[in-house]
Amino acid sequence: MNMPKIVTADKTATAVDEAVHALSAGDCVAIPTETVYGLAADATNGTAVAKIFELKDRPRFNPLICHVSDLDMAQKYGLLNQTSLALAEKFWPGPLTIVVPVNPTSGVHDLVTAGLVTIGLRCPSGMTCRIIERFGKPLAAPSANKSGRISSTSAQHVADEFKTQDLLIVDGGACEVGIESTIVKAEADRLILLRPGVITAEEMQLATGIAVETASTDMIEAPGMMKSHYAPNAAMQLEVTKCPEGAGLLAFSNGNGKDRDGAARIMNLSESGDLREAAANLYHHLKALDSLEPKLIAVEPIPLGGLGDAINDRLARAAAENDNA
């Protein structure tokens, strides 16, 4: 029977080894951070990141926080200006996530950023920091709970959430902070609070000399809806079984019952119909088709259920967004 496996921090060396081993194999691992437990995967491996959404039953691909072991690693993945550097130096390791421009050549998978041009970076303390250091790459991790439920603050909470999954859980004891990190967006000369947490606006102002603005509710609740969110330039048509002449075709699965003859170019999300592979390929394939500048990107039906819901949600958003453009 599938069930979670808890490894404890008093055997730190073994726990770190086991976690790094699982992460290298492309698996998710539950990690203890000072805020809440995270459900982590290699941030550069799209299929591994897709497993996070699948495990959480998350209906949408909202961006994930990218956890780093130190400032050097942060600077490989994000572009930190003077203000974000001051924040990182003052509050890391710790419960602060800093949203900065993503380094476009960093290799972080675009499922992590949800196709945004920014990335949320955080350096957690303790055991998780050592795991990331050993792994040598950042970990994408949302809170380790099923979608719509509260975050887990102990290894046992995580095990209760994911009862029937083969999930490695690294037990670091109860989380010190217990609520999710403060999220601040650092722009050229502004700081915008996206989510309040234990590190306060006042503390950040003291560290940077910049007054912290509060984000509009839209920005907090729906980062996936922000203007900068990725949507193709081409018009999109969903649920297509007969590809219109000259369209770029975002295919799914085999060609049975479908007419692909009109396609100028076909990119298949997953030949075998694997939703995890499809999720990992989604942004990449959409971008590749869009770069050919077709009038239309036609999308074949993707089945609902599990990761299919998240993929369909994201496609619907992309189609709706460029309708409004």
Residues that bind ligand TXA (CB under 6 A): 33, 35-36, 38, 62-65, 97, 99, 113, 116, 118-120, 122, 141-143, 180-181, 183, 194, 223
Question: Nearer to ligand TXA by C-beta: 98 or 299?
Answer: 98
CB of residue 303 to ligand TXA, shortest distance in Å: 25
- Of residues 142-181, those binding Mg ion (CB under 5 A): 143
Do residues 298 and 263 touch, judged by C-beta distance below 8 A?
yes
Stretch that binds Mg ion, among 12-20, 138-146, 217-225, 301-309 (CB under 5 A): 138-146
Question: Nearer to ligand TXA by C-beta: 177 or 250?
Answer: 177
Residue 117 CA to residue 119 CA, distance in Å, equals 7
CB of residue 104 to ligand TXA, shortest distance in Å: 14
What are phi and psi for residue 259, nearest 5 degrees?
A: -115, 110
Question: Nearer to Mg ion by C-beta: 174 or 206?
Answer: 174
Question: Nearer to ligand TXA by C-beta: 147 or 291?
Answer: 147
CB of residue 35 to ligand TXA, shortest distance in Å: 3
Stretch that binds Mg ion, among 11-19, 87-95, 140-148, 297-305 (CB under 5 A): 140-148
Q: Which residue bears the tokens 């509009």?
A: 216
300 exposed, middle or buried (CB, 10 Å; 0-12, 13-18, 19+)?
buried
Question: Nearer to ligand TXA by C-beta: 150 or 292?
Answer: 150
Site string for Mg ion, 97-136 (x = CB under 5 A): ----------------------------------------
Q: What does 94 interact with, of ligand TXA, Mg ion, none (CB < 5 to 8 A by kind)?
A: none
Question: Nearer to Mg ion by C-beta: 161 or 171?
Answer: 161
Question: Nearer to Mg ion by C-beta: 22 or 141?
Answer: 141
Dihedral class, residue 66 (left if φ above 0, else alpha if ψ from -120 to 50, else beta): beta
CB of residue 63 to ligand TXA, shortest distance in Å: 3
Q: One-letter amino acid identity for 299?
A: V
Question: Nearer to ligand TXA by C-beta: 46 or 63?
Answer: 63
Q: What does 318 interact with, of ligand TXA, Mg ion, none (CB < 5 to 8 A by kind)?
A: none
Q: What does 116 interact with, of ligand TXA, Mg ion, none (CB < 5 to 8 A by kind)?
A: ligand TXA
Alpha carbon 53 to chain centroid, angstroms: 8
Do residues 97 and 73 touch, judged by C-beta distance below 8 A?
no
Is residue 33 close enough to count as binding Mg ion by CB under 5 A? Answer: no
CB of residue 33 to Mg ion, shortest distance in Å: 12
CB of residue 58 to ligand TXA, shortest distance in Å: 9
Residue 21 CA to residue 30 CA, distance in Å, equals 13
CB of residue 208 to ligand TXA, shortest distance in Å: 19
Q: Which residues in this chain contact Mg ion in the complex, by CB under 5 A?
A: 143
